[in-house]
Amino acid sequence: MRVLVLGSGGREHALARALHRDPSVTALHCAPGNPGTAEIADNHQLDPTNRTAVVELAARLRVGLVVIGPEAVLVAGVGDALRKAGIPCFGPDRAAARIEASKAFAKEVMAAAGVPTADSRVCESSGQVEEALDAFGPPYVVKDDGLAAGKGVVVTESRDEALRHADACDRVVVEEYLDGPEVSLFALCDGQHAVPLLPAQDFKRAYDGDEGPNTGGMGAYTPLPWAPPGLVDEVMSTVVQPTVDELRRRETPYVGVLYAGLALTSRGVRVVEFNARFGDPETQVVLDRLATPVATLLQACAIGGLDPSLQLEWLPGAAVTVVVAAEGYPAAPAKGDEITGLEEAAAVEGAYVLHAGTALGGEGRPVANGGRVLNVVGTGPGLAAARAAAYEAASKIGLRGSHHRTDIALKAVSMP
């Protein structure tokens, strides 16, 4: 199978790595890719939101599958264009991708499908926002209705901060605060059926102890030793399948991965948000553990042949990823600084490095080219070993002004 991956971040490097390990993949391409994907695939420089350019490239390369990484590509309708051209595509069309592109649409779908989620109000004026904040009380949760690269949500005790965030958005969803730990669950979907992947947990805040602003994600781990028994089955039956059924009823079948961000509250499982693509950085740890060949799974979704009774195979042990972020991230990340120590990091037993926001600078040396620069993945027989490998490898990397959290998976490892 010849495969094309669209995107340039850590998620796409993780996808390319998983596809590269699949013996059924005979040719692997990325557009635009990054210096990391260039080591295992052929990179092609183009704008992945350009529908015409993507279709032309996929046709020229004679690929049997296109895998879409970023949400902006989905919202641009690239999946629609590929399907119209007869090219199998893993990723929902623009209409179905509204499940992420519009928080208000997602709430509408959940209400129709009977999916448990937080009570909420859609607000288009400051007066409506103030009324909603009064109704729900602190902690205040205000979400930009549109795409915001994982940084459009403010959770705060400060009413003024909540109002400022709302004022900076065209339309927001204000909702009740959900207590309890958060879990990410991906489900592969073919428009009718869905199969779950391993649940994971990510860390959104920039600094240790869940302090600082929300980011696109500073680390993740799997498995979750504290997750209640039967969680995945419950989420599939009460959240994922009803959502897939509702979208199909609306004649917008969902093909791709449905990301359910969940809160395990004192009142039961509640949906925090849906994403229309693999989450970043959870993908990096979930795909690391997947033993079932990934290309055939994604192609089965793209062509409508996913077996709902399929039991995926998983490698034993655990994976932890630590995000190395550029100076100033998430507000104003610095670019152009040279990255050193990549070979030393990769030499750590049980660890490897995925490129997320990098480019090649002078003399072909890697430099920072985004906020989240690298994903350092550690693996091992358990979370403690995986975490140790990740942090040992991260300690080898040099990048001026960079920062990373030191507490990824720490609570899970510390549990009795």
Residue range of the domain that includes 137: 121-175
pLDDT at residue number 151: 54
Is pLDDT at 215 greater than 90 in this prediction?
yes
DSSP-derived 3-state class of residue 361: coil
Share of the chain above pLDDT 90, in %: 90
Q: Average pLDDT of 214-219?
A: 94
DSSP-derived 3-state class of residue 47: coil
CA 41 vs CA 49, 219, 284: distances in Å: 20, 25, 17
pLDDT at residue number 150: 53
Out of 251, 274, 303, pick the residue that ends a domain: 303
What is d(CA 277, CA 7) in angstroms, rounded to the nearest whole number?
Answer: 12
H-run or E-run covering 186: strand 182-190
> Is 270 in the same domain as 298?
yes
* Number of domains making up the chain: 4
pLDDT digits (tens, 9 = 90+) for 371-409: 999 999 999 999 999 999 999 999 999 999 999 999 999
Q: E strands, 17-139, where?
A: 27-32, 42-43, 65-68, 89-90, 120-123
Q: Average pLDDT of 264-271?
A: 94
pLDDT digits (tens, 9 = 90+) for 54-83: 999 999 999 999 999 999 999 999 999 999
For the record, the structure tokens of 159 come out as 């009413």
- How many alpha carbons lie under 13 Å from residue 3 in its C-beta half-sphere? 29
Any idea what the CATH number is for the domain that residue 344 is in?
3.90.600.10
pLDDT-derived band of residue 416, with 50, 70 and 90 as boundaries? confident
Any idea what the CATH number is for the domain that residue 49 is in?
3.40.50.20
CB atoms within 10 A of CB 327: 17
Beta partners for residue 187, in sequence order: 196, 258
Are 82 and 56 in contact by the 8 Å Cβ rule? The answer is no
What is d(CA 149, CA 101) in angstroms, rounded to the nearest whole number?
Answer: 10
Q: Is there a domain that residue 354 lies in? A: yes
> Is 188 in the same domain as 295?
yes
- Nearest Cα residue to 202 out of 7, 10, 401, 416: 10
pLDDT at residue number 154: 87
What is d(CA 165, CA 156) in angstroms, rounded to the nearest whole number?
Answer: 10
> Is 45 in the same domain as 7?
yes
First CA to last CA distance, the chain? 46
Beta partners for residue 27, in sequence order: 2
Q: Is there a domain that residue 212 lies in? A: yes
> Is 244 in the same domain as 276?
yes
> Is 14 in the same domain as 35?
yes
Contacts of 5 (CB under 8 A, 6+ apart): 12, 15, 16, 19, 28, 29, 30, 31, 33, 37, 41, 66, 67, 69
> Is 131 in the same domain as 89?
no
Question: ∠ CA 197-202-207 to the nearest 5 degrees?
Answer: 170
> Is 193 in the same domain as 299?
yes
Q: Is there a domain that residue 360 lies in? A: yes
CA 298 vs CA 54, 114, 149: distances in Å: 19, 28, 24
Is pLDDT at 143 greater than 70 in this prediction?
yes
